[in-house]
Amino acid sequence: MKVSMTVNGAAVDAEVPDRTLLVHFLRDVAGLTATNVGCDTTSCGACTVLLDGQSVKSCTVLAAQADGHQVTTVEGLANGDGEMHPVQRAFHAEHGLQCGFCTPGMVMATVSLLAENPRPTEEEVRTGLEGNLCRCTGYHNIVRAVLAAAEGGDI
Amino acid sequence: MSILGTRVVRIEDPRLLTAGGTYVDDLRLPQLTGAARVTFVRSHHGHALITGVDASAALAAPGVIAVLTYQDINDIPPPPPLPEGGPPPGSEAAPLPMGGVWQEPLLAVDRVRFVGEPVAMVLTDDSYQGEDAAELVSVDYEPLPAIVDPADALAGHTLLFPDAGSNVAVAHPAGDTAFDGCDVVVSRDIVNQRVAPVPMEGRAAAAMWVDGKLTVWVSTQNAQISRFIMAGAFGLDPDAIRVVAPDVGGGFGAKVGIDRDAILVAWAARHTGRALRWVETRSENLVGMTHGRDQQHQIKIGGTRDGRVLAYRLDVLQDTGAYPRMSGFLPTLTNLMAVGPYDIAHVEAGYRVVVTNKTPIAAYRGAGRPEATAAIERAMDLFAAEIGMDPAEVRRKNLVPADKFPYQTPCGAHYDSGDYIGALDKVLAGSGYAGLRAEQARRRERGDALQLGIGVASYVEITAADAENGETARVVVNGDGTATVYTGSSPHGQGHYTAWSMLVQSDLGIPMDKVTVLHGDTDEIPLATGTYASRSLQLGGMAVHKADLEVKEQARRLAADMMEASEADLELDIDRGLWHVRGDPESSKTWAEVASHAGSDGLVAAVHFTEAQPTFPFGSHVAVAEVDTETGKVTLVRHVTVDDAGIVVNPVLTEGQRHGGIAQGAAQALLEEMVYDADGNPLTGTLADYAAITATELPSFELLVSETPTPVNPLGVKGIGEAGTIGATPAVQNAVIDAVSHLGVRHIDMPTTPARVWAAIKEARNSQ
């Protein structure tokens, strides 16, 4: 079937098999490989992207369901000058990533979390990111990064 | 001021944060354009004979290029025979199958020994087609009785390897030790359960053969070891193989070397003449990637009523899963570290390794040492409970005092440096231990449903256990004044680029942003060991440091020549990265000028650094847990640690390593376990079932600083990668048990799930 969507502000159209998952559309059709697949049970959140501004696990959305919608991946977060988004900057400053595999999903989940709750408590951050697994950081610096990004107030 | 020891944020991060890493599945190289996808057909049986494979339906499915079974593997040499004198213990450096009667085939031949074992490979144009076609490969099985419990493996009624005549792969049982003179002796059987490493990126490989040369991209901790393993497997000159480790999404020991699945991808690329790519699913990963731990311990501890431990005995039964990979080696480390940080006169440790119908066991963050620490730290608490003494006080009475280093243990380890009592006192003070005990007493007095548990664990561990293998580095100062570091260490999240660039800036005054670090490509770095056993900084970093110093001396000679001064008068201004003649700061030469003067070879030094012995980091953890005595629910509310790994090069990085290790340790203590049913079916084979720890189940951690240098290497550094799991696992387990000890509970096996805690409380109440 033909699927058309806007990814990081650019139109992407392609003929794909009906069962194509959004994450594979992004990786293999749009050529945006930052979004990773970390599991097959919607458990890990590595594939988190924004669909019309809301976080979704793109392994559990069909490309067809995103037809006509806006998708944002971590590649689309920095501004036109290449300056990192405040959440990206906070992850960098607070050492909120190690191997980097969960990071694109974790950053996108954070952007969505802070859009809903701009000043979360630590507990709200931990609850808000429960659907995103990280195996390297013990979440400690991820939580600090989210709180720091919220503190910065320029989300 | 030197940059070493300062908080430098990672130079790796901007790329990972804005474009994402380039993991194997992300490679968009021209050579891999149109690469076919590999999908494995895996055993659904724990133990069965294969009576037939019918691929006809799969071959007719859309996009299928080939279906390969063991019968197609007719173009590589036979595996090596069993060495004389029985199977050697595996080696962490080379996790090859043991060979001989224990031989692990690449693809299953006539039987399968664990759920997830590769039986056939399906090559398709894309991965969706691969999943469909793999379902169509019909494998006929004749089920055999499965061995899941190691006790059944010992009984030997069913044999996994009939030619071996036994399920015991290695046996060095513990001898008897003198418990004479002990007022109190406590014995207990405890379980260090099987867990899954779960790196966020699973296993993955891509391969192509062109003009007799094999190129393999693989998610590995050790590109160079992978190259030699494949050279052996294929009967090839290693120079005919290039292995590249691109970005690696976590390893935790389970990506040491290269697994049979990835070797098969390389083999199939030659066999079919196609470029191939394989990226496992998480459900494959949870049964196909090696698991960790899975030891049963018999512990016995004895001492005096005033708290002095006189004797300790540890007997380890290592469940190695279906094939003895490196798990002959893991319990030797458990034995080596059995006595922990304590001065105990009589110690006996031994082990047996048995095969079972489960996924093979190999290294997982700590690799044999967390098991040793878990055993003795439980033993210490059991002993303390028996004599009615505070567990921290019992530890203080028995820790090796600071004036006894270097210290030779009865287990054969040579502890280099330490201040174990200092670490314990620091963590007790930092956690407010006395106040916690007072709060615990109040809750007990009131009979609160929510009880407080305080878990203490002291540890010493071994890092760079294979120090003699060392690590390589080559440092080049280029004609433009930049530097390039070729490192044998291979990062998968640790921050090597940042740390090695800091070393170059500190040693040579070339700023970090002018340093490029390259790793994990055997064409660039043919000889190296790679990353495991917390060896990177003390071996790989030391190699960089030593190469820096050699380059510096070369530059000194060149600069002296250029400035017509004596070498002895040349000074390097590290802050500005300028050479000048002593007393004449105006006479400066830049690195670019000096390097340009070096001739065609440039300024370059290649080093293979080895250490005379391993190093022994140490520390103490205090975990604070709340336990709901009505439901058994456990909440880890605080975790305070001292982890002393010698001199710290970058606190940001060491803290990150500690955080991650603490979380994985807490995860084993509280939640995680690979569970099998009696037929060898995994019940936790997806991330929906396996309880990988999340942010909601952990507190923020409280890290205290302690730096005791080692004399073993000039930087004074030890390894920090595994300290967290080693210290945290027993501290958290002890905290949970401590919370309900006043109810009569002495022990709860990990993971301390609500069901187990609740059952332990109930059992204790019933027996009173």
DSSP structure string for B196-207: ----SS--EEEE
CA–CA separation, B594 vs B478, rounded Å?
A: 10
- Spatial neighbors of B145 by CB under 8 A, at least 6 apart, are B47, B157, B158
* Strand duo B118-124 + B515-519: pairing: unpaired
| Alpha helix positions (H), B671-751 | 723-739
CA–CA separation, B708 vs B555, rounded Å?
A: 33
Secondary structure of residue B455 in the 3-state scheme: strand
Residue-wise over B293-309: b if at least 16 C-beta within 10 A, else e?
bbbbbbbbbbbeeebeb
Interface of B with A in 704-733 (CB under 8 A): 724
Q: Which residue has the tokens 């494949």?
A: B230
Task: Using CB atoms, pick whichever of B128, B248, B663 lies closest to residue A99.
Answer: B248
Query: B493–A91: do the CB atoms touch at under 8 Å?
Result: no
Task: Using CB atoms, pick whichever of A19, A107, A139 lies closest to residue B695.
Answer: A139
Question: Quick check: B97 pLDDT over 90?
Answer: no
Interface of A with B in 115-154 (CB under 8 A): 122, 125-127, 129-130, 132-144
At B768, the pLDDT band (50, 70, 90 cuts) reads confident
CA–CA separation, B495 vs B483, rounded Å?
A: 18
- Find the residue in A nearest to B663 (Cα): A138
At B527, give phi and psi (nearest 5°). -115, 120
Evaluate whether B125 touches B39 at the Cβ level (below 8 Å). Answer: no
Question: Quick check: B359 pLDDT over 50?
Answer: yes
Say yes or no: B393 contacts chain A, CB-CB below 8 A.
no
Give the mean pLDDT per block of 10 residues along chain A (155 residues).
97 97 98 98 98 98 98 94 95 98 98 97 98 98 98 76
Structure tokens at B446: 């009131």
The total number of residues shown for chain A amounts to 155
Query: B688–A126: do the CB atoms touch at under 8 Å?
Result: no
Residue-wise over A108-128: b if at least 16 C-beta within 10 A, else e?
bbbbbbbeeeeebeeebbbeb
Q: What is the pLDDT of residue B602?
A: 81
Say yes or no: A60 contacts chain B, CB-CB below 8 A.
no
| Mutation for testing the A interface, residue in B17, B126, B279, B280 having most A CBs under 10 Å | B17
CA–CA separation, B266 vs B231, rounded Å?
A: 11
Q: What is the pLDDT of residue B80?
A: 63
Task: Using CB atoms, pick whichever of B14, B200, B692 lies closest to residue A101.
Answer: B200
Q: Give percent of chain B above pLDDT 70.
A: 97
Task: Using CB atoms, pick whichever of B128, B201, B662 lies closest to residue A101.
Answer: B201
CA angle A37, B243, B97 (to 5 degrees): 85
Say yes or no: A55 contacts chain B, CB-CB below 8 A.
no
- Find the residue in B nearest to A26 (Cα): B26
Q: What is the mean pLDDT of residues B577-584?
A: 93
Evaluate whether B531 touches B657 at the Cβ level (below 8 Å). Answer: no
Q: What is the mean pLDDT of residues B485-510?
A: 98
Q: What is the pLDDT of residue B85?
A: 46
Q: What is the pLDDT of residue B82?
A: 55
Q: What is the pLDDT of residue B745?
A: 98
Q: Distance of CA B396 to CAs B66, B329, B342, B458, B569, Å?
A: 64, 31, 9, 9, 53
Evaluate whether B492 touches B221 at the Cβ level (below 8 Å). Answer: yes
Q: From edge to edge, which strands make up the β-sheet containing B292-303? A: B168-172, B346-354, B309-319, B292-303, B184-195
- Spatial neighbors of B725 by CB under 8 A, at least 6 apart, are B365, B366, B370, B661, B662, B664, B665, B668
pLDDT in tens, B11-66: 999 999 999 999 999 999 999 999 999 999 999 999 999 999 999 999 999 999 99
- Find the residue in A nearest to B251 (Cα): A99
Number of C-beta neighbours around residue A67 at 10 A: 13
CA angle B357, B329, B103 (to 5 degrees): 50
Chain A: give the shortest CA distance to residue B756, in Å.
24
pLDDT in tens, B528-551: 999 999 999 999 999 999 999 999
Question: Quick check: B156 pLDDT over 90?
Answer: yes
Residues of chain B with Cβ-Cβ distance to A44 below 8 Å are 200, 282, 687, 692
Which of B286, B310, B252, B321 minimizes the C-alpha distance to B113?
Answer: B321
Say yes or no: B593 contacts chain A, CB-CB below 8 A.
no
CA–CA separation, B475 vs A31, rounded Å?
A: 35
CA–CA separation, B109 vs B132, rounded Å?
A: 23
Structure tokens at B708: 């005791």
Evaluate whether B599 touches B663 at the Cβ level (below 8 Å). Answer: no
Task: Using CB atoms, pick whichever of B26, B248, B698 lies closest to residue A33.
Answer: B26
CA–CA separation, B760 vs B767, rounded Å?
A: 11
Phi-psi domain of B446 (left: phi exceeds 0; alpha: psi -120 through 50; beta: other): alpha
Q: What is the pLDDT of residue B279?
A: 98
At B200, give phi and psi (nearest 5°). -65, -35
Question: What angle separates helix B542-563 from helix B496-508, to the nearest 10 degrees?
Answer: 30
Task: Using CB atoms, pick whichever of B202, B283, B660 lies closest to residue A137.
Answer: B660
CA angle B36, B42, B48 (to 5 degrees): 150
Query: At residue B698, what is the residue type?
Result: L
pLDDT in tens, B683-726: 999 999 999 999 999 999 999 999 999 999 999 999 999 999 99
Q: Which residue has the higher pLDDT, B102 or B481?
A: B481
Q: What is the pLDDT of residue B86?
A: 47
Query: B200–A134: do the CB atoms touch at under 8 Å?
Result: yes
Chain B: give the shortest CA distance to residue A71, in Å.
16
Q: What is the pLDDT of residue B98?
A: 53
Residues of chain A with Cβ-Cβ distance to B18 below 8 Å are 74-75, 77-78, 82, 84, 88
- Spatial neighbors of B155 by CB under 8 A, at least 6 apart, are none
Chain A: give the shortest CA distance to residue B676, in Å.
19
CA–CA separation, B418 vs B400, rounded Å?
A: 9
CA–CA separation, B18 vs A85, rounded Å?
A: 9
| Beta strand spans in B178-229 (E) | 184-195, 204-210, 213-218
Evaluate whether B100 touches B82 at the Cβ level (below 8 Å). Answer: yes
Q: What is the ipTM of this complex?
A: 0.98
Which of A30, A11, A16, A19 minimizes the C-alpha distance to A3?
Answer: A16
CA–CA separation, A86 vs A88, rounded Å?
A: 5
Q: What is the mean pLDDT of residues B741-751?
A: 98
Which of B660, B220, B129, B687 minimizes the C-alpha distance to A47?
Answer: B687
CA–CA separation, A112 vs B514, rounded Å?
A: 36
Evaluate whether B233 touches B76 at the Cβ level (below 8 Å). Answer: yes
Which residues partner with B79 through β-bridges? Answer: none
Q: What is the pLDDT of residue B96?
A: 43
Evaluate whether B158 touches B145 at the Cβ level (below 8 Å). Answer: yes
Q: What is the pLDDT of residue B93?
A: 32
Q: What is the pLDDT of residue A155?
A: 64
CA–CA separation, B476 vs B4, rounded Å?
A: 21
Structure tokens at B445: 């007095």
Say yes or no: B257 contacts chain A, CB-CB below 8 A.
no
Q: What is the pLDDT of residue B246?
A: 98
Residues of chain A with Cβ-Cβ distance to B124 below 8 Å are none
Evaluate whether A86 touches A115 at the Cβ level (below 8 Å). Answer: no
CA–CA separation, A36 vs B151, rounded Å?
A: 41
Question: Quick check: B79 pLDDT over 90?
Answer: no
Own/partner pairs for B164-168, CB < 8 Å, 24+ apart?
A: B164/B101, B164/B102, B167/B354, B167/B355, B167/B356, B168/B352, B168/B353, B168/B354
Which of B354, B353, B350, B386 minimizes the C-alpha distance to B176?
Answer: B350
Q: What is the mean pLDDT of residues B387-397?
A: 98
Which of A62, A74, A60, A154 minimizes the C-alpha distance to A114?
Answer: A154
3-state secondary structure B104-152: CCCCCCCEECCCCCEEEEEEECCHHHHHHHHHHCEEEEEECCCCCCHHH
Q: What is the mean pLDDT of residues B420-447?
A: 98
Q: Please return the burial class of B616, using the count of CB atoms within 10 Å of its CB with bins 0-12, 13-18 and 19+.
A: buried
Question: Quick check: B485 pLDDT over 70?
Answer: yes
Q: Distance of CA B750 to CAs B303, B350, B691, B737, Å?
A: 26, 22, 13, 10
Query: At residue A18, what is the residue type?
Result: D
